[in-house]
Amino acid sequence: MEVLLEKSSPTLASLKVTLTKEDYQPKVDKTIKDYSKRVNLKGFRPGKVPSHVIQRMYGKSILVDEVNNILSNAVSNYIRENKLQVVGDPVPDRDKAAEVNWDTPSSFEFSYDLGIASDFEANLTELPAVKRYTINVDDNELTKTIDSLRERFADSIHPEVSEAGDMIFGELTQGEFTTRTAIPTKQVKEEAAAKFIGVKKGDVITFDIKDTFTDESAIAHVTGKKKEDIADLSGEYTLTVEDVTRSAPAALTQEFFDKVLGPGQVESEEQFNEKVLEIIKSNYERETEALLRRDIETSLLDAISIELPEEFLKNWLERTNEGKFTREQIDEQFGDFAKSLKLSLIKNKIADKSEVKVEYPEILAFTREMVKGQFGIYGDDESMRETIDRVAQGYLADKERDNYTSVFNQVFDNKVLEVIRGQVSTDEQTVEVSEFEKLAKGEVEAEA
């Protein structure tokens, strides 16, 4: 077997594979022999079908399959062994393939078109310093977070007299229509709000169904009607008040601390505040890391020049996504695709040079943290660990969504970023929360 690479430009090449009979015939003969032992044919004992019969019936298809397998391995091995930065998939020369005479096999010649990224070096020490931000978390930020948590874990109380924001329960009637309902005063128009403030159990409220609520969905909720039937409703309705409920921010009690952080994590308000502040800083640390990652990637793209075979890639994208995207859409989105591809090439070269590897325990640990974040679990509650592990393992086992590959790529990306950060200098800056939010959105440039 002979494999030759012919480059027509820095980004385009042709890979020619020549097979002789010695390359494929032993494999064909072995497969035919295996068939003769497995195939059941009328007139022959099981496992005793002569090879010449198998050759006559299946020989051509066996030959095609074996040659294709050899070709696939030859192409992928050559690319890997010669460390070619192939982009897209090798494209077989169909005209060349059509010339093959499978009926009188001897030597075969096949050709593949390759798209190749131009050579480049990833010298990280030559990159300019990248800004790394530390967010100043003050007492105001702590107060806002605790207030938000108190609202999230709010208690329901039943006051005697209603106030703005309360939920009023009762029986709603108009003529023969009657239903038990709840009216959220937050969805009542400002000009009609007075009717629902200061009411108590047993009071009767009369209101116009069209002029009272902020939108049709609120009317549908109150009346229990479908949205499409709302247009037919009109006139005055009466509500006989049966109960008033109010969402009261959770008190700073041990029960509240346990709900937020897990049982026994803290034993006082002071410890709770310290733990929440630690979590806030950790959350902002993740956000600053995300911005740092973005800025590092931008720096890599700016500093490292890589030429891609654009037309080859566009044709490949159109072919592999047949029916999903038009050529116009591919042209429009190609800039983003090219950036992503270049970053992948750069990171793979860095990972290869630094021998970055990802193991399953790292993937599981990452997934556990992701699950904890999704469920809003702040502490490390022993009783929850088994549940978290079960959810994480189930998530990784979902082959339909290919979650394992997705998480693997994230962990790989994080490890490569660690390598990069170890070699790229950073310009440390402290900013306020409001300024950082603008930076993250790309609205302002940080001061040098």
- pLDDT of 369: 87
Identify the burial level of 340 via C-beta atoms within 10 angstroms of its C-beta, where 0-12 means exposed, 13-18 middle and 19 or more buried.
Answer: exposed
User: What does the alpha-carbon distance between residue 349 and residue 211 come to, in Å, rounded to a whole number?
Assistant: 66
For the chain, the average pLDDT equals 90
Find, among 217, 218, 205, the residue nearest to 244 by Cα: 205
| Confidence at residue 283, expressed as pLDDT on a 0 to 100 scale | 87
The alpha-carbon radius of gyration of the chain (Å, integer) is 34
What ranges do the domains of the chain cover?
Answer: 2-116, 124-146+256-440, 155-248
Question: In the CATH scheme, what is the homologous superfamily, with its name and number, of domain 2-116?
Answer: Trigger factor ribosome-binding domain (3.30.70.1050)
pLDDT band at 379 (very low <50, low <70, confident <90, very high): low
Confidence of residue 376 (pLDDT cuts 50, 70, 90): low
Please say if the pLDDT value at position 337 is more than 90.
yes
Q: Would you call 177 helix, strand, or coil by DSSP?
A: strand
pTM over 0.75: no
Give the span between the Cα atoms of 307 and 310, in whole angstroms: 9
Token pair in block for residue 271: 């410890």
- Out of 23-27, 366-370, 443-447, which region has the weakest mean confidence (pLDDT)? 443-447
63: number of Cβ within 10 Å = 21
Can you tell me the distance from the alpha carbon of 66 to that of 26, in angstroms, rounded to the nearest whole number?
10
User: Is the dihedral angle over the CA atoms 326, 328, 333, 334 positive or is it negative?
Assistant: positive
Neighbours of 174 (CB within 10 A): 15
Dump pLDDT digits (tens) for 253-296: 999 999 898 888 899 999 999 999 999 998 888 889 889 999 99
Half-sphere CA count of 173, side-chain side, radius 13 A: 7
pLDDT at 446: 45
- What is the pLDDT averaged over residues 39-62? 81
Residue 431 tokens read as 């900013």
CATH annotation of 155-248: 3.10.50
Structure tokens at 115: 């798209």
Mean pLDDT along residues 161-178: 95
Tens of pLDDT, residue by residue over 205-243, are: 999 999 999 999 999 999 999 988 888 899 999 999 999
More confident site: 386 or 429: 429
